[in-house]
Structure 1
Amino acid sequence: MELQQLRYFVAVAETENVARAAERLHISQSPLSRQIRQLEDHIGLQLFERIKQRVRLTPAGREFLHEARDLLLQAERVEERARQVGKGEACSLSIGYCEGVIHNGRLPAALRRFRSAHPRVSLKLAAMRSGEQIDALERSVIDIAFVYNLPKPTETLTSRLLASEPFVIAMADDHPLAGKAAISPSDLDGMPWIALPKAINPAARERFLSACASCGFTPDIQFEVAQVSTTLGLVSARLGVAIMQASMQRMSPPGVVFKPMDWLPLVVDIHLLWRARAQTAGVRHFMRALEETSEEGVAAAA
């Protein structure tokens, strides 16, 4: 049984006249009558009663008409859904990100533009650490990743450097150093610090300590905290100072000030990752939205 036969059947049932149905379908009467007979033979039912120039549905035909209309409607939905998916208008997109990427501003701006242009895309966001994102990307759990740590080059993953940010130091607004216009490395020697737990990212801890040593001071890490909001809370309580990527200043938490550390040989690199052979319509559209937000930023700066 073919969908075209069902369309022919519905047209004849609605007009109760083969000639008018043929005119509506833009075919001749003979092939239309032949298709109806083939449909009846296929399902083993008489669908029409032939009365001179008219045809009327049998009881079985009336029941079949109801099911045929439902089936044709479903077929139209399937076709429309396929067209939308092909255009990237009705698909899914899963994005992983590190918390700091949100404060950088590029991801929220791209999401706003993407959602406005493609409202039918099923969008999923997952906050993960860099290593978790890379694993999820390779297992096709997510489609795009915003990470700090760039993995070793592979044949399956493609990367792009999205942004590089300097570090700033966060301290309580009544800290003894808060009134200084510029903080020097010697000011921080022996100062209590709040840092990301070493167990979470040993390499990042080592890079931080090495950078501090190269500047001539050693941070006294007294508290280890994973969450940025908790870190800022401890900073405002004068339990220590902490370094953060510069875009964190946008949070403007009460009781905390930020000072530049231009002399610190350390930056935060944010990388974009995606599977090289998984360029779905959703991924392509999001990448375009991300590029457009970058272009807007360049235009605004100019």
Structure 2
Amino acid sequence: MTLTQLEIFSLVAELRGFTAAATRLGIGQSAVSHAIKSLEQELGVELLRRHQSMVELSDIGQQLLLRARAMLGLANTLRQEAADARGMRRGTLRIGSFGPTSSMKLLPGILRRYRALHPGIEVHIDEGPDRQVIQWLDERRIDVGFVVLPEERFDTFMLMEDQMVALLPTAHPLAAQASLNLKDLCNDPFVHTEAGSSELVTRLFNAARLTPNVRFRCSQLLSTLDVVRRGEAVSVVSEGSLPDDENPGYVARPLSPRVPRQIGLAVLDSRQASPATLAFIELARQS
């Protein structure tokens, strides 16, 4: 069993195909097939079930995938510790990001400084909803992720705090109020943003034993803002995710009582984090 075999197996499982994995790795499909076949023969189990248009993991393949990713993560850490001794001239950093707050406001500035200091580190960024970043951390598909705090099962590092706000069309009867409570938002159609702090919004309503009248579900914040701007719904989003716009076409009002939101970075275990990961966290905390 080699690390190359494990890397190929992990990528085939992620992309659900031999051709896609071969393209990503820049090798022939026959080489991918040979690596998987050799790994299965050595382990004596079927890792992948082949179908006409795709492959899927077997039950034992799903279990071994987590182990394979853990081994690949450890191997990457070892490489980067060696690179650290050489001035971190080489290495890889995989970052998970969600929503405008991290992807558009926090990450660009951190990355500019990071790339200036560590140009040899190859950076990969995956974007998805906050719950998906958590899943990527659990599955070891990323080294570090932006998360909404608290997240007790990870080692976390706080970066910023803002607050959750209600979004209303400018002509809404409640737009003149200085603040709003969640109950005020249950009488109108509600638009729920799947990106960003969607889990936090859901928890807020559940904790208050309230059910918003969800009529829209948008994958991007810009779509949510457009729905509110047209007067079709109200919403709850984070203040820090809103774009800087003098005439946004909607109004944002703080929730009462105030609902703070903390954004930070999370890793599975900071003691096993690679030098490239720790350097990124340190820069982020200084920003």
Distance of aligned partners of 1:202 and 1:108 in 2 relative to their CA distance in 1, 3 Å threshold = closer
- The partner residue of 2:164 within 164, 167, 172 is 167
Q: Secondary structure at the match of 2:273?
A: coil
Aligned equivalent of 1:193, options 174, 179, 190: 190
In the alignment, which of 247, 262, 278 is matched to residue 269 of structure 1? 262
Asked if the contact 1:97–1:145 (Cα under 8 Å) also holds between the matched residues in 2, the reply is yes
What pairs with 1:113-262 in structure 2 (closer than 5 Å)? 113-148=113-148, 150-153=150-153, 157-178=154-175, 180=176, 182-185=178-181, 188=185, 190-196=187-193, 204-211=201-208, 219-252=212-245, 255-262=248-255
CA shift in 2, pair 1:83/1:223, >3 Å? closer
Check the 8 A contact 1:164/1:270 in 2, yes or no: yes
109-118 vs 85-94, which deviates more?
85-94
Give the match's secondary structure for 2:251. strand
**Alignment deviations for residues 185-225 of structure 1 (CA, whole Å, 9 cap, x no partner):** 4864623321246xx96774242243485xxxx74333233
- How has the CA–CA distance of structure 1 residues 241 and 115 changed in structure 2, closer, same or farther, with 3 Å as cutoff? same
- 1:150 & 1:188 partners in 2: Cα distance? 25
Unaligned runs of 5+ in 2: 1-81
Distance 1:239 1:150, change over 3 A: same
Give, in whole Å, the separation in 2 of the partners of 1:160 and 1:256.
Answer: 35
How far does residue 166 in structure 1 lie from its aligned partner after superposition? 0.9
* Corresponding letter in the other structure for 1:190: N
Q: Secondary structure at the match of 2:161?
A: strand
Alignment partners' CA distance in 1, 2:218 and 2:107: 24
Q: For structure 1, which segment, 166-175 or 89-98, has the greater mean C-alpha deviation from structure 2 after superposition?
A: 166-175
Looking at structure 1, the residues matched to 173 and 160 of structure 2 have their Cα atoms a distance apart, in angstroms, of: 32
Q: After superposition, where does 1:6-25 map in structure 2 within 5 Å?
A: none
Following the alignment from structure 2 to structure 1, what is the Cα–Cα distance between the partners of residues 159 and 199?
Answer: 24
Residues 1:140 and 1:129: Cα distance change in structure 2 (over 3 Å): same
Alpha-carbon distance change, 88 to 101 in structure 1, aligned in 2, over 3 angstroms: farther
* Aligned-residue CA RMSD (Å): 3.2
Shift of 1:240: 0.8
2:272 is equivalent to residue 278 of structure 1:
yes
Kept after mapping to 2: 8 A contact 1:211/1:264: no
TM-score (norm 1): 0.56
Question: Aligned runs of 1:36-47 on 2, under 5 Å?
Answer: none
Alignment check: 8 A CA contact 1:194 1:222 kept: yes
* Contact 1:232–1:253 (CA under 8 A) maintained in structure 2: no
C-alpha distance in 2, partners of 1:91/1:138?
A: 21
AA aligned to 1:128 is G
Kept in 2: contact 1:88–1:285 (CA 8 A): no
Q: What SS is found at the alignment partner of 2:242?
A: helix
Structure 1 unaligned blocks of 5 or more: 1-81, 294-302
* Distance change in 2, residues 1:253/1:193 (3 Å): farther
Alpha-carbon distance, 1:230 to partner? 1.3
Name the CA distance, whole Å, in 2 between partners of 1:187 and 1:136: 35
**Secondary structure, counterpart of 2:252 in structure 1:** strand
The whole-number CA distance in structure 2 between the counterparts of 1:171 and 1:117 is 43
Q: Distance in 1 between matches of 2:281 and 2:149?
A: 20
Provide the residue aligned with 1:40 in structure 2: none
CA–CA distance in structure 1, aligned partners of residues 84 and 111 of structure 2: 20
Q: Is the 8 A contact 1:168 1:258 kept in 2?
A: no
Inter-partner Cα distance in structure 2 for 1:174 and 1:114 = 44
Which residue number corresponds to residue 88 of structure 1? 88
Specify the SS of the correspondent of 1:277.
coil
Structure showing greater radius of gyration is 1
